[in-house]
A and B are shown apart, each in its own frame.
Chain A
Amino acid sequence: MRGSKFLTVVGLLTIAALVLAACQPATVEVTRIVTEEKEVEVTRIVAGTPVVEVVTATPAPAEEAEVTYPRNETLYTSGKQWGPPTSWNPLQPGSYAMGVIGLCNETLFLYDPLKNEYIPWLAESGDWVGDNVYEVKLRQGVQWSDGEPFTSADVVYTFELGKLDGVYYKPLWDWLDKVEAVDEYTVQFTFKEVRYQEWGNTLYSVAMVPKHLWEGRSEEDIVNGDNLPPVGTGAYLYETHSEDRMVWKRNEGWWAKDALGLSVGPKYIVDIVNPSNNVALGLFLKGEMDLSNNFLPGIATLVEGGYGVQTWYDDPPYMLSANTAFLFMNTTKKPMDDPAFRKAMAYAVDVDEIVTKVYGNIVQKCNPTGLLPVWEQYVDQDVVDELGFTYDPDKARSILAEAGYQDVDGDGFVEAPDGSKIELKIIVPFGWTDWMESIKVVANGAQAVGINLQPDFPDFGGYWDQLTGGTFDMAINNFGSNMSDTPWTFYFWLFRNPITDVMSNGNFGRYDNPEVFDLVVELDKTPIDPEAMKPVIAEIQRIQLTDMPAVPLWYNGLWAQWNSTYWTNWPSAQEGAPKYLPCTWNGYWNMTAILMLTELEPVQ
Chain B
Amino acid sequence: MAQERPKEVRSEFLYFALRNRKLRVGLGILVFFLLFAIIGPFLTEYDPNTYAGPSAQPPSSEFWFGTTTFGQDVYSQFAHGLRSTFIVGLIGGGIGTLVGVVIGLLAGYRGGMVDEILNMLTNIVLIIPTLSVLIIIAAYLAVRGILTESVFIGLTAWPWAARAIRAQTFSLRTREFVDLARMSGRSSLRIVFTEIAPNMMSYLFLVFILQFGGAILNAATLDFIGLGPTRGMSLGLMMNNAVLWAALQLGMWWWLIPPGAAIAAIVGALYVMNVGLDEVFNPKLREM
Is B244 an interface residue when CB atoms closer than 8 A count as contact? yes
Q: Which 7 A-B pairs have the closest CB atoms?
A: A462-B142, A458-B142, A457-B230, A431-B226, A281-B249, A281-B246, A298-B250
Chain B residues near A298 (CB, 8 Å)?
56, 69, 245-246, 249-250
Indicate if the CB atoms of A461 and B139 lie closer than 8 Å. yes
Indicate if the CB atoms of A281 and B250 lie closer than 8 Å. yes
Q: Mark A260-304, 1 if CB is under 8 A from B, else 0.
A: 000000000000000011101110010000000000111001100
A353 CA / B70 CA spacing, docked (Å): 10
A372 CA / B226 CA spacing, docked (Å): 32
Is B248 an interface residue when CB atoms closer than 8 A count as contact? yes
Chain B residues near A500 (CB, 8 Å)?
none
Chain A residues near B248 (CB, 8 Å)?
278
Measured CB to CB, the closest approach of chain B to A313, in angstroms, equals 20
Indicate if the CB atoms of A456 and B230 lie closer than 8 Å. yes
Indicate if the CB atoms of A282 and B71 lie closer than 8 Å. no
- Residue from the list B49, B244, B245, B249 in contact with A440, Cβ < 8 A: B49
Is B55 an interface residue when CB atoms closer than 8 A count as contact? yes
Is B189 an interface residue when CB atoms closer than 8 A count as contact? no
Given contacts A282-B249, A353-B51, 17 further A-B contacts (CB under 8 A): A276-B244, A278-B247, A281-B250, A297-B244, A297-B245, A298-B250, A357-B51, A357-B70, A360-B55, A360-B69, A431-B226, A456-B230, A457-B143, A458-B142, A459-B142, A459-B230, A461-B139
Chain A: residues with CB nearer than 8 A to chain B?
276-278, 280-282, 285, 296-298, 301-302, 353, 357-358, 360, 430-431, 433, 437, 440, 456-459, 461-462
Chain A residues near B49 (CB, 8 Å)?
440
Centre residue among A297, A430, A456 by max chain B CB count within 10 A: A430
- Residue from the list A276, A281, A282, A297 in contact with B69, Cβ < 8 A: A297
Nearest opposing residue in chain B for A430, CB measure: B230
Asked whether A458 and B230 contact (CB < 8 A) given A297-B69, A357-B55, A357-B71, the answer is yes
Indicate if the CB atoms of B246 and A278 lie closer than 8 Å. yes
Nearest opposing residue in chain A for B142, CB measure: A462
Is B285 an interface residue when CB atoms closer than 8 A count as contact? no
Measured CB to CB, the closest approach of chain A to B255, in angstroms, equals 11
The size class of the interface chain B forms with chain A is 20 to 34
Chain B residues near A437 (CB, 8 Å)?
70
Is B188 an interface residue when CB atoms closer than 8 A count as contact? no
Is B39 an interface residue when CB atoms closer than 8 A count as contact? no
Could you jot down 16 A-B contacts, CB within 8 Å? A276-B243, A277-B243, A277-B244, A277-B246, A278-B246, A278-B247, A278-B249, A282-B249, A297-B244, A297-B246, A357-B55, A360-B55, A431-B226, A440-B49, A458-B143, A461-B142
Asked whether A462 and B143 contact (CB < 8 A) given A298-B56, A437-B70, the answer is yes
A353 CA / B244 CA spacing, docked (Å): 20
A456 CA / B246 CA spacing, docked (Å): 24
Indicate if the CB atoms of A433 and B245 lie closer than 8 Å. yes
B39-71 residues at the A interface, CB under 8 angstroms:
49, 51, 55-56, 69-71
Is B241 an interface residue when CB atoms closer than 8 A count as contact? yes
Indicate if the CB atoms of A433 and B230 lie closer than 8 Å. no
Chain A residues near B55 (CB, 8 Å)?
357, 360
Nearest opposing residue in chain B for A456, CB measure: B143
Chain A residues near B56 (CB, 8 Å)?
298, 301
Centre residue among A277, A278, A280, A457 by max chain B CB count within 10 A: A278
Chain A residues near B250 (CB, 8 Å)?
281, 297-298, 301-302
B123-156 residues at the A interface, CB under 8 angstroms:
139, 142-143
Chain A residues near B142 (CB, 8 Å)?
458-459, 461-462
A430 CA / B229 CA spacing, docked (Å): 9
Indicate if the CB atoms of B249 and A285 lie closer than 8 Å. yes
A461 CA / B243 CA spacing, docked (Å): 23
A312 CA / B254 CA spacing, docked (Å): 31
B216-256 residues at the A interface, CB under 8 angstroms:
226, 230-231, 241, 243-250
Nearest opposing residue in chain B for A457, CB measure: B230
Indicate if the CB atoms of A430 and B226 lie closer than 8 Å. yes
A297 CA / B243 CA spacing, docked (Å): 11
A297 CA / B250 CA spacing, docked (Å): 9
Q: Mark B207-220, 1 if CB is under 8 A from A, else 0.
A: 00000000000000
Chain B residues near A276 (CB, 8 Å)?
243-244
A458 CA / B231 CA spacing, docked (Å): 10
Measured CB to CB, the closest approach of chain A to B281, in angstroms, equals 33
- Residue from the list B51, B226, B231, B243 in contact with A278, Cβ < 8 A: B243
Chain A residues near B243 (CB, 8 Å)?
276-278
Measured CB to CB, the closest approach of chain B to A431, in angstroms, equals 4
Measured CB to CB, the closest approach of chain B to A298, in angstroms, equals 4
Nearest opposing residue in chain B for A297, CB measure: B245
Measured CB to CB, the closest approach of chain B to A353, in angstroms, equals 8
Indicate if the CB atoms of A278 and B244 lie closer than 8 Å. yes
